[in-house]
């Protein structure tokens, strides 16, 4: 998904940046302004004002100590792709007035690259390694707002909530785990407002695609190692800890099943209940006994819950309201299913939330595995689902 540009086509950058600053001062003061904030900015300002942050001051910063920062850097899944990002974007950062920043999923800056001069300017705002740059801490900014919206964000000058950030632009996009859809962190490029170039958004998007493709390649390499470590002699599957299939014999289930748990029978379409056995780095899944029909009951009478039964499997788990809504929509759609755009339209009223929809379905598949299928999104033909309301 491309990064929406902060500057409309045909606008003169210095003039527009000044207009945004005037707009900020008028809107925050409750006055009228001929220029109105974009919907994205308005939503963020409302969230920030509800938290009691001040626009005319530098709000209290929070940053990690060296030990905790080091721990987060070591444990971040993005650690393995930072050298690639520095090769693609960092070289430009070292030769110009921009900063490359990579955060974790909580908006804490883990890595930063740029010239000493621009780093010193950023230091005065608390924009350095270990600092928390969520909306709740520093107001509307590309990092925090990208996390809040789970979408790419570009902000210029007065679109930032804090006046101290008005001399800057920032362009950011979340990086998602290609295995689970969860947010791993944010890639951000920031610099002096009047140096914003139309290509910055494409540069950040290139960084995101590079990071996610590298993470997917590492995932495939781990599956290959798991595949070669186990010899299947009967019907069954070898899967990793997230349910991704490394090897199969006499079973055709697609690329993923539900996440296995020790001692918990696993429902697999067409096979019913299977028994997971722990392996080094994954699971061996063998056929269980009993009825192979998979029954799914969605209980909406209070907090949404899913009950799955079939053969030896019988468990009940709480799901989010969004996941319950997705299951209802897929149930109604039947075998034809829904495209990602159609599902986004049904969930959000427009077809612009492709990234968010894919992330939500990926998280749902973490729970239900191949019971929810893709391209198009639909329930497996072997699932018998009922909805209790």
Same domain, 318 and 365: yes
State pTM to two decimals: 0.78
Q: Does 257 have pLDDT greater than 60?
A: yes
Residue 5 lies in a domain: no
CA distances from 211 to 2, 24, 140, 204 (A): 15, 34, 25, 11
Instruction: Name the domain boundary from 257, 272, 287.
Output: 287
Q: Does 298 have pLDDT greater than 80?
A: yes
Q: Mind listing the pLDDT tens digit for each residue in 153-162?
A: 999 999 999 9
| Cα(283)–Cα(277) distance, integer angstroms | 5
Residue 104 lies in a domain: yes
Residue 8 lies in a domain: no
Residues above pLDDT 90, as percent of the chain: 62
Residues above pLDDT 70, as percent of the chain: 93
Q: Mind listing the pLDDT tens digit for each residue in 18-74?
A: 999 999 999 999 888 889 999 999 999 999 999 999 998 778 888 999 999 999 999
Residue 223 lies in a domain: no
Q: What total of structural domains would you count in the chain? A: 3
Residues of the domain holding 350: 294-388
Same domain, 207 and 317: no
Bridge partner residues of 272 (DSSP): 268
Same domain, 264 and 189: no
SS3 state of residue 188: strand
Looking at residue 76, what is its pLDDT?
97
| Cα(268)–Cα(257) distance, integer angstroms | 7
Helix ranges (H only) for the chain are: 13-28, 39-50, 66-75, 82-85, 91-94, 116-123, 135-138, 142-149, 200-229, 321-333, 340-348, 354-368
Q: Phi/psi at 163 (nearest 5 deg)? A: -60, -30
The side-by-side arrangement of strands in the sheet containing 294-299 is 313-318, 305-310, 294-299, 383-388
Looking at residue 271, what is its pLDDT?
65
Say if CB 181 and CB 155 are below 8 A apart: no
Same domain, 60 and 131: yes
Same domain, 29 and 58: yes
Same domain, 209 and 241: no
Same domain, 44 and 149: yes
What's the whole-number mean pLDDT along residues 354-362? 85
Bridge partner residues of 373 (DSSP): 378
299: domain CATH number is: 1.10.10.10
Instruction: Name the domain boundary from 167, 198, 218.
Output: 218
Q: How many CB atoms lie within 10 A of CB 243?
A: 27
The overall average pLDDT reported for the chain is 89
Q: Does 209 have pLDDT greater than 70?
A: yes
Q: Mind listing the pLDDT tens digit for each residue in 127-139?
A: 999 999 999 999 9
């Amino acid at each position: 998904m491309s990064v929406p540009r902060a500057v409309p086509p045909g606008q003169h950058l210095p003039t527009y940046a000044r207009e945004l600053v005037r707009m900020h001062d008028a809107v925050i003061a409750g006055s009228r302004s001929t220029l109105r904030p974009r919907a994205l900015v308005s939503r963020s300002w409302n969230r920030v004002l509800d938290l009691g942050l001040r626009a005319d001051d530098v709000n209290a910063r929070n940053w990690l100590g060296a030990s905790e920062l080091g721990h987060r850097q070591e444990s971040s899944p993005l650690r393995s792709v930072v050298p690639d990002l520095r090769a693609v974007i960092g070289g430009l950062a070292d030769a110009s007035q921009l900063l490359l920043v990579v955060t974790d999923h909580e908006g804490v800056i883990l890595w930063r690259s740029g010239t000493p001069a621009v780093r010193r300017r950023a230091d005065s705002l608390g924009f350095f390694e270990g600092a928390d740059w969520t909306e709740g801490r520093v107001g509307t900014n590309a990092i925090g707002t990208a996390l809040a919206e789970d979408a790419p964000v570009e902000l210029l000058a007065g679109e930032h909530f804090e006046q101290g950030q008005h001399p800057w632009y920032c362009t950011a996009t979340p990086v998602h785990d290609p295995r689970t859809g969860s947010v791993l962190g944010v890639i951000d490029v920031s610099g002096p407002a009047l140096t914003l170039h139309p290509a910055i958004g494409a540069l950040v998007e290139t960084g995101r695609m590079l990071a996610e493709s590298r993470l997917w390649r590492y995932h495939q390499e781990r599956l290959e190692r798991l595949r070669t470590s186990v010899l299947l002699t009967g019907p069954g599957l070898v899967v990793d800890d997230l349910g991704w299939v490394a090897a199969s014999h006499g079973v055709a289930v697609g690329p993923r099943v539900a996440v296995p748990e020790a001692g918990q029978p696993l429902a697999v379409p067409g096979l019913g209940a299977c028994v997971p056995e722990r392996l080094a780095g994954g699971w061996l899944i063998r056929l269980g006994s009993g009825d192979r029909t998979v029954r799914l009951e969605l209980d909406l009478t209070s907090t949404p819950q899913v009950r799955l039964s079939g053969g030896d499997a019988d468990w009940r788990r709480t799901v989010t309201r969004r996941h319950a809504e997705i299951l209802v929509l897929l149930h109604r759609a039947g075998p034809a299913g829904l495209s990602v755009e159609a599902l986004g339209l049904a969930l959000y009223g427009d077809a612009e939330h492709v990234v968010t929809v894919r992330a939500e379905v990926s998280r749902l598949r973490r729970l239900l595995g191949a019971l929810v299928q893709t391209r198009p999104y639909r329930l497996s033909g072997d699932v018998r689902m009922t909805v209790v309301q």
